[in-house]
Copies of this chain bind each other. A is one copy, B any other.
């Protein structure tokens, strides 16, 4: 007897894989539920039974990739500047690469388009990632600094430059972000 649960799981995995593959191959503007269904070998109605649209499928594919334990904590060598440099360089490199940043682009478009999507994306994908930075900063920055604003000081500028295409996304740029943020965040010397 066929096992419907196992069949569902196989279809779900095929849909998520097809979605990320198609995104890599031709970008978000060309991604449609029709194409995902064709590539995954399922009917369109199967996708619409589980997801509201292509953005929701992309989000699930990424949450699946990270796994149920959530994103790993940031490195902690005891040297905050060195650790942040590694992390910010990695994010800048990802944003600079159109193949790697295609999923972030897709999720940002959906976030701007739908308030419901924005909340799901924030709670399931973004907040856990921002929290890894927040935890690394906790207790290591000026007492009067709001930790959410401290995280945004690191993250906001590079997303703005990436989105708006206002400047190069290089390692030197990444290091400049860390220098500026730490100048703002470090406990003031007496």
**A152 interface residue (CB < 8 Å to B):** yes
Beta-carbon contacts under 8 Å, A135-163 to B: 145-146, 148-150, 152-153, 155-161, 163
* Chain B residue nearest in CB terms to A110: B109
Could you tell me the dominant secondary structure of chain A's interface residues?
Answer: helix
- Interface residues in A, total, Cβ within 8 A: 44
Interface centre among A111, A112, A118 (most CB of B within 10 A): A112
Q: Is A62 an interface residue (CB 8 A)?
A: no
With a cutoff of 8 Å between Cβ atoms, the chain B residues found around residue A115 in the complex are: 165
Contact (Cβ within 8 A) A152 B160: yes
Query: CA of A161 to CA of B108 in the docked complex: distance in angstroms?
Result: 12
Copies of chain A in the complex: 2
B127 near A163 (CB under 8 angstroms)?
Answer: no
Interchain CB contact under 8 A, B176 and A127 = no
A126 vs B165: C-alpha distance in the bound complex, in angstroms? 10
Which residues of chain A from 115 to 131 have any CB-CB distance to chain B below 8 Å in the complex?
A: 115, 118-119, 121-122, 126-127, 130
- Could you list 26 A-B pairs, sorted by A, with CB under 8 Å? A28-B113, A108-B163, A109-B113, A111-B163, A112-B163, A118-B165, A119-B165, A130-B166, A145-B180, A149-B157, A149-B177, A150-B180, A152-B160, A153-B153, A153-B180, A153-B184, A155-B156, A155-B160, A156-B156, A156-B160, A157-B157, A180-B185, A181-B184, A183-B184, A183-B185, A184-B184
* Closest CB pairs A-B (n = 7): A156-B156, A156-B157, A184-B184, A156-B160, A152-B157, A183-B184, A180-B184
Further 13 A-B residue pairs, CB within 8 A, beyond A156-B158, A180-B185: A108-B112, A109-B112, A111-B163, A118-B165, A119-B165, A122-B165, A126-B164, A146-B176, A152-B166, A153-B157, A153-B184, A155-B160, A156-B161
Give residues in A with beta carbon < 8 Å to B: 28-29, 105, 108-109, 111-115, 118-119, 121-122, 126-127, 130, 145-146, 148-150, 152-153, 155-161, 163-167, 173, 176-177, 180-181, 183-185
